[in-house]
Structure formats: structure tokens, C-alpha cells
Amino acid sequence: MNNKFNRAIEHLINSSTSEEVINSIQAVEDLFSLTWLSKQEGHRLQMLWARRDVLSTSELYSLGKSIIKLSINNKKWLDATAKEIKKDADSSHGLITEMIIIGSLSTALGVITPCPKSFKIYDYTVDFETGFRHKVSIKNYDITKHEKEFNKRSEIIRCTFKNYLKARGLSGRLTVLLEHETLTDELTREICFFITFKMKDYNFYPFSNGSGGIGFHEIDEFDKKTLVSPSDTILIIAKHHFNEQRNIIDKINEANDKLLSDPDDPKSLKQLVIRLGSTANIEMINDHLTKLGADWERCGFDLYFLFQPQVVSDIEKDSTMITTSIKHGVKGFFPATSDIKNKLENMKSLKMEFGIGAISSESSPMILMINGTQTDISIKSHYVFQKGDLYLRAEKKGSGYEGSLAKMAPGIITHSVFDNMTISPICYSQDDRVLII
């Protein structure tokens, strides 16, 4: 962390130099200003800047690389977009996505130009020397309101559980399994009531309908003399809201209709680029786009590109990394009048540089792990909330103390306790979700 930003960057310098990484993060600071980035107003970019974990550093590096590239020929658009991002937190992620994508592109014999706000359909164009062009619409479908509500309710349950542990001087692991149910407000109240007034001993308490239950167990990974109360871990798994994927499909249909409203012309190709949040079912979305492409009269795009960045765990290496799943396709049929062959011959391919992590043509599996062991239970159609704070008493060694600061699992971190002082890690995040890329 021997740099002006006090960030660990070693994981990024395999493909870049330390100077390139620092310059990229500096570009983020220069564009948005340190004063604004340091504010605590709930903006996702401010939250990312405040963190010091490797995931946040990776995201800032990716954004900074695009900023540096865009500043060469598109400084005016870059400054205007940054101003819009700072002004409106709700719409900021879509604009940040545009910034990162456009700044990651390159092509031979072509000029990539972001579109001004007056362009209602497209976000950038690629104009080739031949007079032909790509017209591209970017859509960002991140965390849905249904998942936000699930996370909010899960935080309420965790707060209730932590108060329960604190009042009894205990540590414990809480597991809430809702195999066939969504986590509603009413169910959240029932779970909190059960924790507060009915949960007595370490045990598993099944629901009356037999579709899951509440587990309260000891944390047995550490010696009882080492574990300081109230340490907690919590895992909540609940069925997706029935509209979770449908809402995304509806938005894709709206985007397709807008592209369809723009008449085809003999020198352009229309492309739809979609970024999906981690909960979206990329296979289902890809199937829908394939079906749209097969209906050439209804299909508004000529090409589509679908990508989904996720934080995934490597079980064998006991590590996490960003993996981007990608899917792509074309319209299933082009009438002879579209002259598609001539268009393709007069355009070059676009290259998109993914600055961090790995790329896969397959979706990342969502598998339930129990006590470090992989099960065969898929949770692809479920929301997952996992967090934990494990307080471990430091061991006295000679004239000093030795403690452990680690990440035990996604969302679960350890803290070292020295007498009445607690030391917490800054290089790990409890929220294993990308915020901007």
C-alpha cells in the first residue's frame, strides 16, 4: 500500500504497471474531484472511493483507464457526463456504464464518438473511413428494486439477530432458508419476532409448511476461548420475486422498440449492448434476445452483446475474483434489401478491453456451500444475503500480540481484539458485489 491512495494494487500489476494503476485512480479523482468523492452522500462512486478493499480498487482502476482514453478526444463529453453522474445518484450507474464501455473500445480505421444527450436512441457511434457506421445503444440493468427490498429486509433480520446475541452474551450463526417463498415485510416481522421471543437454544427450527426454516448454531471454526462475543454470521436465502426476470425482459423489449423506430439505412448497423446485474439470469435473457432476433420484422437490432460482471469464489484457491460472462448474437434474418454483406465488408470489428478479471462464455454457477463444502443445490433463482463479523482474541506472543485479519467467506470477515481494542481489516469488503463495472 505504499502509494498516495493507500491501496493494495499488487493484484493489478500482473497486466499493468504500478504507475498505470495509480494514474488511472488519479484520473477518477481529477474528473470527479477529491472533495466530491470524499463526501458521504450515498452515491455509489463515493462509497467505492471510501472503501480500500481490492475489489473497490479494481473497479476504480477500470473506470480510470476509460477516463484516460476518453480524455484524449472526448474531453467535453467526459466532463458533461461526470457532471450528470454527480448530480443524479439514481441514474448515475447507467452513465458510468457508458463511460466505462465507450472508453474500453477500439477499432481499426474507425472513430468512436459518444453521442450527445440530444440523441434519444443511441449512446455512441463508430464511423469508418468507408462512410459506414455502427450505431450502438447501451442499457444497464443492475440490481432491481425487488433485490434492494430483499437486502433491506435481510439487514433488519441481521440487526435483530445481533441484538439477540448481544443481550445474551453469545456468538452464533443464523441461517434462514426460504426455498419456495420470497422475503416479504410480513415474513420479515415474523422472523424477527421468532428470533427475539421464541428462539432459545442452538437448533434448527423448521417452518410449518416444510419449505425451509431457521437455523441457529454455534460458530465452531474457532476455539471458544478465541472467539469474542457477540460474533455473528448470517445467511439468508429466499426465492426471487416473480417479476425479477420479467422486469428486465420488459425493459429489453422497450429498448428493442426504440431501435425498431429508427429506420434501417444502407450504411449502418444497429447494435444493442446490455449490462446485467449479478442476480439476473443471463441464460434466460439471452434466450429472449435470440427469440427477438428470430422475428426479423419485430427485431430492432442487427447485433446484440450481453455481459454480466460478477464476483465469484474460487474454492480451490480460496480466493475471489471478478468474472464477466458474455453472450452475443445477431438478427436471425436479413432481407436482401438490407445489403448486409456490403455493410460487413465496409466495417471493421470492435475490440472491447475488459480491464480486470476473467471472461467466460458461460454463466457463473450459483451453488450453495455448507461449511466449506460444495453442495449440488443451485440457488440461481434465489436471492442470497451473507454477512458476518468474527471477533478473535489476539494471542500474546512474547512482548507483543498476534492476530488474524481475514476474509472467511463472501461477506464474512475477521477482526482482532486486543484487550478493549478492536482492529478491523480495510482490504476486504463485506459486500461482494461490483458497484460500477
Concatenating the DSSP letter of every residue in 349-398 gives PEEE---SSEEESSPPP-EEEETTEEEEEE-TTEEEEEEEEEEEEPEEET
Same domain as 345, residue 380:
no
**Three-point CA angle 377, 383, 385, nearest 5°:** 100
* pLDDT the model gives residue 369: 67
* Rounded Cα gap, residues 215 and 224, in angstroms: 20
* pLDDT the model gives residue 401: 75
Work out the average pLDDT over 344-372.
Answer: 80
* Rounded Cα gap, residues 347 and 280, in angstroms: 32
Are the C-beta atoms of 13 and 21 separated by less than 8 Å? yes
Alpha-helix residue ranges (DSSP H) falling in 297-363: 340-345
pLDDT tier at 11, thresholds 50, 70, 90: confident
**Three-point CA angle 96, 434, 329, nearest 5°:** 70
Same domain as 411, residue 390:
yes
Q: Give the chain's count of helices (H) and strands (E).
A: 11, 21
Same domain as 253, residue 137:
yes
Work out the average pLDDT over 20-35.
Answer: 97
Are the C-beta atoms of 231 and 390 separated by less than 8 Å? yes
**Three-point CA angle 34, 434, 37, nearest 5°:** 10
Domain with 281 in it: 104-143+246-360
* pLDDT the model gives residue 165: 97
User: Nearest Cα to 267, choosing from 173, 129, 137?
Assistant: 129
Same domain as 356, residue 250:
yes
Instruction: For 104-163, give the secondary structure using H, E and C.
Output: CEEECCEEEEECCCCCCCCCEEEEECCCCEEEEEEEEECCCHHHHHHHHHHHHHHHHHHH
pLDDT beyond 80 at 212: yes
Tell me 348's DSSP state.
P
* pLDDT the model gives residue 294: 94
pLDDT, tens digit, for every residue of 90-144? Answer: 889 999 999 999 999 999 889 999 998 878 899 999 999 999 999 999 999 998 9
pLDDT tier at 210, thresholds 50, 70, 90: confident
Q: Judge whether 124 lies within some domain.
A: yes
User: Nearest Cα to 122, choosing from 12, 262, 248?
Assistant: 262
**Percentage of the chain exceeding pLDDT 70:** 95
Same domain as 48, residue 20:
yes
pLDDT beyond 90 at 278: no
Using the Cα atoms of residue 98, residue 292, residue 296 and residue 258 in order, give the sign of their dihedral.
negative
Same domain as 337, residue 198:
no
Q: Which of 73, 89, 115 is the last residue of a domain?
A: 73
Q: Which of 73, 94, 117 is the last residue of a domain?
A: 73
Better-scored residue on pLDDT, 369 or 22: 22
Same domain as 280, residue 150:
no
Q: Judge whether 94 lies within some domain.
A: no
* Rounded Cα gap, residues 178 and 241, in angstroms: 12
Same domain as 173, residue 135:
no
pLDDT, tens digit, for every residue of 255-271? Answer: 999 999 999 999 999 99
Mean of all residue pLDDT scores within the chain: 90
Q: Judge whether 89 lies within some domain.
A: no
Q: Judge whether 281 lies within some domain.
A: yes
User: Nearest Cα to 32, choosing from 6, 66, 67?
Assistant: 67
Are the C-beta atoms of 344 and 330 separated by less than 8 Å? no
Work out the average pLDDT over 329-341.
Answer: 85
**Three-point CA angle 182, 186, 191, nearest 5°:** 85
Out of 67-81, 232-246, 283-297, 410-424, pick the least confident.
Answer: 410-424
- The pTM of this model reads 0.90
Same domain as 62, residue 7:
yes
| 173, amino acid identity | R
pLDDT beyond 90 at 54: no
Same domain as 166, residue 290:
no
* pLDDT the model gives residue 374: 66
Instruction: Kindly give, in sequence order, each residue whose CB lies less than 8 Å from that of residue 97, ignoring residues fewer than 6 positions away.
Output: 138, 140, 275, 436
pLDDT tier at 377, thresholds 50, 70, 90: low
pLDDT tier at 16, thresholds 50, 70, 90: confident
pLDDT tier at 192, thresholds 50, 70, 90: very high
Q: What are φ and ψ of residue 42, in 5° steps?
A: 85, 5
pLDDT tier at 315, thresholds 50, 70, 90: low
Q: Which of 327, 360, 393 is the last residue of a domain?
A: 360
Counting Cα atoms < 13 Å in the Cβ hemisphere of 100 gives 26
Cell of 287: 434466450
* pLDDT the model gives residue 191: 97
- Please state the domain count of the chain: 3
* Rounded Cα gap, residues 148 and 170, in angstroms: 30
Same domain as 416, residue 321:
no
Same domain as 194, residue 338:
no
pLDDT, tens digit, for every residue of 139-161? Answer: 999 989 999 999 999 999 999 99
End-to-end CA distance of the chain: 23
* pLDDT the model gives residue 316: 63
* pLDDT the model gives residue 93: 93
Q: Judge whether 90 lies within some domain.
A: no
Work out the average pLDDT over 354-359.
Answer: 80
Helix (H, G, I), strand (E, B) or coil at 70: helix
